[in-house]
Structure 1
Amino acid sequence: MTRIDLATSELHELLTPVLPHASTDKERPELGVVRIEARGSVLSAVASDRITLAATRHPADGLDDFALTIDREDAANLLKIFRHTKKTDPQLAIVVEEMPLPTDTGSAYGLGIRIDSETGKRHSLTDLGDPDPIFTKWRSLVAKLLARPAAPASPAVVFSPWATPRWSKAPRKGDYLQVFPGPTSKDPVLVLAGESFIGVWMPAGLRDDMEPQALLAGTPWQADLEGMATADAGDLLAAAYEAPDQVPDPGADRKLLEEAAELVITTQFGSTSMLQRRLRVGFAKAGQLLELLVGFGVVGPAEGSRAREVLVRPDDLPVVLDKIRAGEVTADA
């Protein structure tokens, strides 16, 4: 028996982003499911219709490995049965254990999941049995795409418009939806949102021999804008992203800066979105904190949308905190 303690909101965060990816094709009922797994102290939910695949993760200590498959509609019903609001977020006890199966399955007992809420609600579901092979191989697929060289994408990647809304549920508040095309238009696209969601999108591939200008020539926008003087997009938009001429004085936010330094150094991850989420501050404030940490030699300068390089080892955290408290800026702002 495995017991998992989750808040109701965490159950929603686990299931809601993957549900749009579970197939609704009545001819492929084996894909109209959600796979729930525990491996290495991480709880995951996975869904796919072979055009897109989505997986979420929730770290949870003390889990025994398990995997079970539940019907898509049953997963959606869980979110209707167990609800939360801004004011109330009931705690759930999720138990995965052997339980009696329906009589038409041919087996007396099998793996099942029981959810009890502190509000008194209870619901049980049983494993549907052998899943489609994509659910046993999804980790290998995602691992392959994560290890793929960061090659430039092909000139254009075309997606089916009906699939686009599926990704709207992936980012949590403060997260970005990050899309990584492959080196050709026929390669799978990797989609990430924060630290809790990863997905795969099979594009409707263009022919590799099509030139970018040939594709652009087919759009009426070129005719509409013919003869227009062109503007430098970098100059036009730079003002929105310009760093301030002077790094703000850290004195007013010393405690917050110390917390930011501790998070970045201990996790070895210099991300604006991570600071925004963990410190519960706005995106601008999180970016300002990272710029201040540049001055203290904690992280390197910005490199596009990538996380900052962390320049300090965890063992040196006390030294950095002392410098922040003393206001000893060690790098050029």
Structure 2
Amino acid sequence: MTVTTTALPRFVAQLTPHISTDTTLPPLGGIYLEADGTHLFAAATDRYTIAVTRTEATESEPWKAVVLRADLTALRALFPARRRTADLHLTHHRGCTRTPDGLLTVGDGTRSLTLSANASLARKFPKWRRLFADALAAEPRQDTETLYNADFLARWARAADRNQPLTTWSAGPGKPLLVAAGPDFLGLHMPVALPAHRPDTPARDRQDRAALRTTWADTLTPARRLKAAA
């Protein structure tokens, strides 16, 4: 069961910022791969953000795998991102007695790397389709202030190519910000809990729109010119 694609280095670059560093959540410790007979999907999440990207792949039967962070380091070293993309062949080998988690071989015709497919982890990866279906179905409604972690916002810089804009919207307070880059990349970004839900949050962390208008009024109001003396 082999998928041939040039997209794997791009997937790794786009999704690495979203991989969880929490060692108590092994299914989130790498990039999830899924071939469904029409596309190859890749996803990563740490529960604060989740990103999924895809490319067409019609030559494979369905399979799932998780490539852990340590294996991604080896993958990047053997197949570095280049300006000129090259075909990579991803071959999934189902589990057997010796390798119950299955294997994933990545090669370019001259070199290859064989990794665990981590089938047991892949089965526990979050049901990402439902999350994105709900977010896409919800009507945009951004009519109040929303807090976002600035470090997490920086993760989306990897989502798009240079000069490619991001599209964003939200279904309202407490709902995730949906991020799209072109037709094949989607992300969800959970907001920081509002002070109403977290009484311990300092008031200064919530920049109320009305308060901002008041505190900036003098600075942003055009200065009046003095009249010349008669």
Is contact 2:18-2:45 (8 Å) kept? yes
C-alpha change, 1:226 and 1:193, in structure 2 (3 Å) is: closer
- Which position in structure 2 is the counterpart of 1:182? 171
Alignment partner, residue 227 of structure 2: none
**2:47 is equivalent to residue 56 of structure 1:** no
Percentage identity across paired residues of the two chains: 26
Q: Please, which of 111, 130, 133 is the counterpart of residue 140 of structure 1?
A: 130
* Counterpart position of 1:320: none
> How many residues of Structure 1 are paired with residues of Structure 2 in the alignment?
216
* Paired position in structure 2 for 1:199: 187
* Equivalent AA in structure 2 for residue 164 of structure 1: L
C-alpha distance 132-162 of structure 1, shift in aligned 2 (>3 A)? farther
**Partner of 1:258 in structure 2?**
none
2:103 matched residue in structure 1: 112
1:19 pairs, out of 16, 20, 40, with 16
Q: 1:36 to 1:206 in 2, by over 3 A?
A: same
Q: Which runs of 5+ in 1 are unaligned?
A: 101-106, 230-333
Q: Secondary structure at the match of 1:73?
A: helix
Tell me which stretches of 4 or more aligned residues in structure 1 moved more than 6 Å. Answer: none
Among 140, 155, 158, the alignment partner of 2:147 is 158
> How big is each residue's C-alpha offset from its partner over 1:256-307, in whole Å with a ceiling of 9 and x where there is no partner?
xxxxxxxxxxxxxxxxxxxxxxxxxxxxxxxxxxxxxxxxxxxxxxxxxxxx
2:157 maps to what in 1? 168
Distance between the aligned counterparts of 1:125 and 1:133, measured in 2?
17
Alignment-mate amino acid for residue 114 of structure 2: S
Once the 2 structures are TM-superposed, how far is the Cα of residue 73 of structure 1 from its aligned partner?
2.6
Q: Which amino acid aligns with 2:179?
A: V
Alignment CA distance shift 1:136-1:64 (3 Å) = farther
- TM-score calculated relative to the size of structure 1: 0.58
Once residues 134 and 223 of structure 1 are traced to their aligned partners in structure 2, the CA distance between those partners, rounded to angstroms, is 52
Q: 1:218 to 1:113 in 2, by over 3 A?
A: same
| Counterparts in 2 of 1:228 and 1:193: CA distance versus 1, 3 Å | same
User: Matched residue of 1:20: which SS?
Assistant: helix
Q: Which residue of 1 aligns with 2:200?
A: none
User: Structure 2: 5+ residue runs without aligned partners?
Assistant: 198-202, 224-230
| Equivalent position amino acid for 2:93 in 1 | E
- Residues 148, 133 of structure 1: alpha-carbon distance in 2 compared, 3 angstrom cutoff: farther
Once the two structures are superposed, the pairs formed by residues 146-295 of structure 1 within 5 Å of their partners are: 146-150=136-140, 152-183=141-172, 185-206=173-194, 214-218=208-212, 222=216, 225=219, 227-228=221-222
Per-residue CA deviations over 1:205-237 (Å, capped at 9, x if unaligned) read 325799x994442589616615436xxxxxxxx
AA matched with 1:6: T
- Aligned partner of 1:129: which letter? A
* 1:154/1:182 contact within 8 Å kept: no
Whether 1:96 and 2:92 are equivalent positions in the alignment is yes
Q: Does 1:127 align with 2:117?
A: yes
Offset of 1:132 from its aligned partner?
7.4
Q: Does the CA-based 8 Å contact 1:70-1:126 persist in structure 2?
A: yes
Q: Is the 8 A contact 1:40 1:65 kept in 2?
A: yes
Instruction: Choose which of 64, 73, 85 in structure 1 pairs with 2:82.
Output: 85
Indicate whether 1:29 and 2:26 are aligned: yes
Higher RCO (CA 8 Å, separation ≥ 6 residues)? 2
Report the structure, 1 or 2, having the larger strand content. 2
Q: Given that residues 160 and 203 in structure 1 are in contact (C-alpha distance below 8 angstroms), is that contact kept between their aligned partners in structure 2? A: yes
Residue of structure 2 in register with 1:65 after alignment: 62
